[in-house]
Amino acid sequence: MLYKKSCLTLTILLLNSYDYSGYGCSSGKPSEQNTYADIEAAYRCLVESYRTQAEDIILYGQSVGSGPTLELAIRLPRLRAVVLHSPILSGLRVMYPVKRTYWFDIYKNIDKIPLVSCPVLVIHGTADNVVDCSHGKQLWELCKEKYEPLWIKGGNHCNLELYHEYISHLKKFFLSIEKTPAAKFGSAENSDLPDAPRTSSDCLEFPRSSTDEADKSRTSIDHVEKSRKSRDHNEKRRRSIDKKSKARKSIDRLDKARNSTDQSEKPRKSIDRLMRSVNLCNIDCFKHTSSKA
C-alpha cells in the first residue's frame, strides 16, 4: 500500500492499494519475485501517472506485505516514511526460530531493515498467533530511524484496525512526518536528486601567469625528450646485447664442430696405434686374426 500525501497538510491525496499476483482479483502466480514486481508497478504508477516524488510517498506493508515494502524502501533513499503492520522477520522465521538467514529464505526483512534511511513505524499486536510480536519488536530494534512503536495489547494478526489507539497513533505519526523536512532523510551520496549548484566562492580560482604556462610547457617538452632518449638508449643496449649473443653463439658452434671432428679422429688414431703396436699393417690380417680369436 502506498500513500501520496500533501507537503502542506495531512490530507491524503491518493491512496494507492493493490493486490499481489495470484491474490484477490489479480491474475498471475504468487511468488516473492512477483510481489516485488507488483509494488514496483504501483510505485511507477504514482511517479509516471501522478507525477509524485519519492519524498512525498509513505510505504505501508502488512504481514507478508512487509517484504515487498522493505524491498522497495531500500531502493528509495529519499522516501518519506515506512509503516510496518504486523511484519515478519523473514518467511522461514515465521515457522522456525532460526538464528541465521539461509539462502533459500524469502522476504529477508531482518537483513533489509537496517538499510532503510527514512523513519519507520512498527505496529504489532501482543496476542498475534500468526506472526509473533517478537518479529515486530526485533525489526524496530534494527531500524536506523526509529519512530515510537505501537504494541497493541491483546491485538491479533488481523484485527488491529479495530483498536482506537491504532488510528490515533497512525495520525500522530503522519503529523510528525509532516512537520519534519523531507530533506533531512536520505544521504546526499545516495540521493536521486541532482547535486546543488556550486557557489561562486567554490568556483573561485586565481589566474595563472603566462610564465607558469611556459614553464609547464617547457617541462613537458623536456620530459618527452628524456623519455625518447631513454627509449633510444635502451634500444641500442638491446641491439648490442643481441650482437654479442649472436657472436658468442657462432663461436660456440665452431667449437662444437671442432670438438666433434676431434672426437671422430680419436677412435681412428687409437686403432692406428693399436695396429702399430702389434706390427700389423694389413687390415685383412687384423680381421683374420680377430676371427681366429
Specify which residues 2 forms β-bridges with: 16, 59
Q: Which tens digits make up the pLDDT trace of 83-110?
A: 999 999 999 999 999 999 999 999 999 9
Handedness of CA 29, 35, 36, 39 (dihedral sign): positive
- Read off the pLDDT band of 268 (50, 70, 90): very low
Q: Find the range with the poorest average confidence among 17-21, 167-171, 244-248.
A: 244-248
Query: What values do phi and psi take at 77, rounded to 5?
Result: -65, -15
Instruction: Specify the 3-state DSSP secondary structure of 170.
Output: helix
> What confidence score (pLDDT) does residue 250 get?
63
Domain chopping of the chain, boundaries: 2-184, 240-293
Band (188; pLDDT cuts 50, 70, 90) = very low
Separation of CA 15 from chain center:
35
Residue 113 reports pLDDT greater than 90: yes
Name, of 224-233, 255-264, 271-280, the range with top average pLDDT: 224-233
pLDDT number for residue 102? 97
Query: Residue 203: left (phi > 0), alpha (psi -120 to 50), or beta?
Result: alpha
For the cut 50, the answer to whether the pLDDT of residue 263 exceeds it is yes
Pairwise pLDDT comparison (233 vs 67), residue with the higher score: 67
Active site residues: 63, 128, 157
Query: CB neighbours (10 Å) of residue 152?
Result: 21
Query: Does residue 61 have a pLDDT over 60?
Result: yes
Q: Which three cell numbers stand for residue 269?
A: 688414431
Q: Answer yes or no: CATH 3.40.50.1820 is held by domain 2-184.
A: yes
pLDDT at position 215 is: 55
pLDDT at 164 (0 to 100):
96
Mean pLDDT for the stretch of residues 2-6: 47
Q: Which residues, in sequence order, are bridge partners of residue 59?
A: 2, 82
DSSP string, 221-253: HHHHHHHHHHHHHHHHHHHHHHHHHHHHHHHHH
